[in-house]
Structure 1
Amino acid sequence: MAHHKLILDDDLNEDYSLIAIHCSEESYKVAYLLNRFASLKLKRKPVDLEYSSKGMDVTFPVFEFEHTMFYTTYNLVANKCKSSQLHTSSSGLFSEDFSDRSVVTYLIPEYKKVDYFLKIQSDFEVIPLRKLISEINEIKQVISAYSLDLDQIKSKNNLIFD
């Protein structure tokens, strides 16, 4: 009897480039600035990126642009999500104290100082990344933008948007 062997390739490693953007503006404003100065057409996706962290549901808005002519997809996502958490503490038999505290959750905790990530997936081997980074750095509201090494990111699974 013949034995069949199935080999499962590790196809979880997606090929993409990642640009870190330092900017204190809101996410919709950063998307607008990238559309205007970097010739992108980012639009907010109807469904945000959601996951659970420390018992809290956290959402990050995602902006996407699919450049069909170059088979390239651009995703802009914020790294920080501020949410409030309600704490209750009882100080006696019939009294309870309620306190509201703000909690900041990071999409990629290794890069806490980065405000936004621009993920670029392409079917082509070469993407004009230097040109895009220089266009982003020329935006007045952007403090800095640079490419990240994907091997140093431990929480790559948080960058899966589909």
Structure 2
Amino acid sequence: MQVHTVSFDDFSCTEYHIFGIHSALEDYQLAYLLNSFLSINFKRCKDDIDLKIKANEAYFPLYEYTNYQTDNSWFLVSNVYKTKIQGDNLGLFSESETRLFLLPEKKKVDYFLKLEGEFTQHRIDKINEVINEIPQVITSYNIDTNTLKSKEFLIF
């Protein structure tokens, strides 16, 4: 009997690019601005990315846009999930805020933009340039996917 092993590469798109976006905007506000500036049409996915991190449930909002003419898919996902913890042993303050991260090694990144499909380097640079022109975006940059330890969380 032949055994087939499944690897991470079986589930991931071979051609994708990831941008890190720093912004204090809410996810829906950033999606709206990206739609406006890039002439795309992000829509909120029915299901968020659900993870259990350190005994806490975390839900990361996910937005998707598919261009059927070029066969490209775009995904916008928040890197931060904020949850409030209530307890009697917190002293003067009865609740505390905890932040959980989709990719813990990139804690300073607020959002990830994942582009799947074929993109020229010129197109990638142009997308990054346009994102950086949005006044509410602090910065945006391309992330080398080979440096990510938790990239399996970016499979959607």
Which TM class, normalised by the smaller chain length?
Answer: 0.7 to 0.9
Who is 1:66 aligned against?
66
1:160 paired with 2:155, answer yes
Give the partner amino acid of 2:134: I
Who is 2:110 aligned against?
115
Who is 1:49 aligned against?
49
Give the partner amino acid of 2:86: L
Who is 2:95 aligned against?
100
- Write out per-residue CA displacement over residues 93-141 of structure 1, whole angstroms, 9 at most, x where no aligned residue: xxxxx9422110011111111111001111x363611110011011111
TM-score normalised by L of structure 2: 0.87
Among 119, 142, 146, the residue aligned to 1:147: 142
1:7-22 correspondence runs (5 A):
8=5, 10=7, 11-15=10-14, 16-22=16-22
Alpha-carbon distance in 2 for matches of 1:84, 1:69: 43
Alpha-carbon distance in 2 for matches of 1:43, 1:125: 21
Other structure's SS at 1:51 match? strand
Alpha-carbon distance in 2 for matches of 1:8, 1:50: 26
Alpha-carbon distance in 2 for matches of 1:12, 1:154: 16
CA RMSD between the two structures:
2.0
- Write out per-residue CA displacement over residues 2-40 of structure 1, whole angstroms, 9 at most, x where no aligned residue: xx6555474244321100111111110000000000111
Give the partner amino acid of 1:107: L
**How many residue pairs were aligned?**
150
Which consecutive residues of structure 1, in runs of 5 or more, have no partner in the other structure?
90-97
Q: Which runs of 4+ in 1 moved over 3 A?
A: 4-10
The structure in which a higher percent of residues are helix is 2
Other structure's SS at 1:70 match? coil
Give the partner amino acid of 2:155: I
Alpha-carbon distance in 1 for matches of 2:2, 2:120: 36
Alpha-carbon distance in 2 for matches of 1:47, 1:67: 20
Could you tell me whether the CA contact under 8 Å between 2:11 and 2:155 is conserved in 1? no
| CA apart distance, 1:46 | 1.2
Identical pairs, percent: 36
Alpha-carbon distance in 2 for matches of 1:7, 1:81: 36
Alpha-carbon distance in 1 for matches of 2:73, 2:43: 12
Which consecutive residues of structure 2, in runs of 5 or more, have no partner in the other structure?
none
